[in-house]
Structure 1
């Protein structure tokens, strides 16, 4: 056996170890929400998960985005599927649920219970969370709106988690940033959301 042939197995081992270490340094971010983060009406590459991953990588961050949003999902649906979604072992979860609860007029205490249950499961798994808040539709009245809108701040305080107060901040009621339905952000709207949210995401993965 020559000197160089002896070196080949060593080089292979070093290569495997290097790849393994690199994979360990990649932060996995689970996007867990509804149609707003699932990319309703958009191409996959224009949806929130893909654009967020590109933005983070352009900043030199080693990340892997795991899309796990379901269009039409409520807080109850999310609570039922969260443990399955955690099989990918994410380091961070961006939790974006509640919009459909508000549209359906679900009692805020029910939404709170479901989101609390999700947060508790994430805490037990030592996963960092960025809570993306939502606001109740104004047509449901002041009392409903007041109770609903307090849910996210309350959860943030109870679990000591970061809160992005309103997922659609800077996008809602701006036709040029929304699809024709006036509810879901278009490609430019997604970019605006990511631009505003990015500093908080970076803070969580650093």
Structure 2
């Protein structure tokens, strides 16, 4: 309920400055901590020249993101969309084909709205098997090439290998990891941001 209220707050129509929409899952939704401790909030604090709208929801799949995206694009008028989805598809063993289909539709919707799209690479744990893991990773590489969108390396790669930066579940980054995520994401999301016309 708290997350839903926060999302509604962010989507109140206002004059956004260079609006950026983050469409992600628990990795971007401040799972396991206060909202103001998460990387999206910290990035906003460091970047007053833009308005960052966090449309992330814990547990979100690519299908769920696809359902919510049209309303988010309409509400935010985002100029840049960062899609960080697929992890929950992988954890549930959904087919890479289904994942690619949903991500493709999201990319096309965002492009049709006039937004620039950045796609976050997502990886699954190695215990899902090398074949599935390879097919899963290839989805993002193929989409970047086929759709001409920027592929942002998975920000968890250098965090997940450090237990002190992870929550007890071994899946989610803890509060101490959030500034590191900001440092990683900022050059991709903010430093290349074009000024509003």
What is the TM-score when the length of structure 1 is the normalising length?
Answer: 0.82
Which 5+ residue runs of structure 1 have no aligned equivalent? 1-22
- Aligned CA RMSD, in angstroms, stands at 1.6
Which residue does the alignment assign to 1:184? 172
1:44 aligns with 2:44: no
Cα distance in 1 for partners of 2:148, 2:136 equals 19
Tell me the distance in 1 between the aligned counterparts of 2:180 and 2:130: 28
- Per-residue displacement from partner, 1:92-150 (whole Å, max 9, x unpaired)? 11110000011111011100100011001011111112211111221221111111001
Aligned residues of 1:133 and 1:166 also touching (Cα < 8 A): yes
State the distance in 2 between where 1:125 and 1:204 align: 20
Post-superposition, which runs of at least 4 consecutive aligned residues in structure 1 deviate over 6 A?
A: none
Q: Which has the higher contact order (CA 8 A, sep 6+)?
A: 2
Q: Is the 8 A contact 1:152 1:165 kept in 2?
A: no
In structure 2, runs of 5+ residues without a counterpart are: 1-13
Distance in 2, matches of 1:132 and 1:171, equals 15
What CA distance in whole angstroms lies between the structure 2 residues aligned with 1:140 and 1:180?
Answer: 20
| 2:5 match | none
Q: Measure how far apart 1:203 and its partner are.
A: 4.2
Is the helix fraction higher in 1 or 2? 1
Whole-angstrom CA distance in 2 between matches of 1:156 and 1:184 = 25
> What is the number of equivalent residue pairs in this alignment?
180
CA separation in 2, counterparts of 1:122 and 1:167?
22
Q: Could you tell me how far apart the structure 2 residues matched to 1:43 and 1:192 are?
A: 17
